[in-house]
Amino acid sequence: MKIYHNPRCRKSREGLKYLQEREAHVEIVDYIKQGISIAEIREIILKLHVSPFELVRKNEAVYKKELKNLSLTDEEWIKIVSENPVLLRRPIVLAKHKGIIGDEAENIEKIL
């Protein structure tokens, strides 16, 4: 199992704590520090069954200032999220064949 985690985000910390309390074996990916590749974003999209735009945090300053109201393709959104990882919703938990956005820690239970 893998968690895309931002240690500065309360919801991400809660999600990681939820997994650790259940003694889940989890690889922690600090995507803010490490970055996130286009291939990783595609894997997330595939496992979550969402569009790239659904992964975007709409309350981030970069979104509000530069991206709001733009009509972009899926590939453009993937590239933008890769270049601006702060835009990725969090935490994202991936299992072998599925994934979930764990913005509510209890949602993570669905993937365990």
What domains can you pick out in the chain, each with its CATH number?
Answer: 2-111 (3.40.30.10)
- pLDDT tens for residues 65-105? 999 999 999 999 999 999 999 999 999 999 999 999 998 88
**Active site (annotated) includes residue 9:** yes
pTM confidence score: 0.92
- pLDDT tens for residues 33-75? 999 999 999 999 999 999 999 999 999 999 999 999 999 999 9
Query: Considering only CA atoms, which of 74, 2, 11 is closest in space to residue 36?
Result: 2
CA distances from 104 to 24, 36, 39, 90 (A): 17, 22, 26, 10
Which position among 3, 4, 5, 9 bears the catalytic label?
9
Q: What is the pLDDT of residue 106?
A: 81
